[in-house]
Amino acid sequence: MPENIDMPTRNISLTDEQDAFVERVVKAGEYQNASEAVRDALRALRQRRQEDALKLKALRLQITAGIDALERGDFVELDDSELDDYVQGLTVSSQRAR
């Protein structure tokens, strides 16, 4: 992406390690300049945060479903001696479903 004169400018501080990394990727030709490398890193950060938000939403839905199941009485009580066999049965069932 060509440099745009209208882009806002920020001064940022990098650790020596971060600066060396940016320098390496620019020298390797992966980016034309440091600004391009930092913009790509920010895009990756934004994407990771969006993915994390979706995972959190899915987890909250699963928690709600679990609470609803408990309130309906839709659960199995096990004591410690039964737990290993129960989990093993779940593992075998999920492998068959694939």
Least confident of 15-24, 47-56, 86-95: 86-95
**How far is residue 70 CA from its own chain's centroid?**
29
Instruction: Determine the average pLDDT of the residues in 86-98.
Output: 82
pTM above 0.75, yes or no: no
Segment 55-70, tens digit of pLDDT: 999 999 999 999 999 9
Residue 32 pLDDT more than 80?
yes
Tokens for 43? 């895009």
The whole-angstrom separation of Cα 47 and Cα 42 is 9
The whole-angstrom separation of Cα 31 and Cα 38 is 10
Instruction: Determine the average pLDDT of the residues in 14-28.
Output: 98
pLDDT at 63 (0 to 100) = 97
CB-based contact 10:18 (threshold 8 Å): no
In the DSSP assignment, the letter for residue 6 is T
The whole-angstrom separation of Cα 98 and Cα 83 is 23
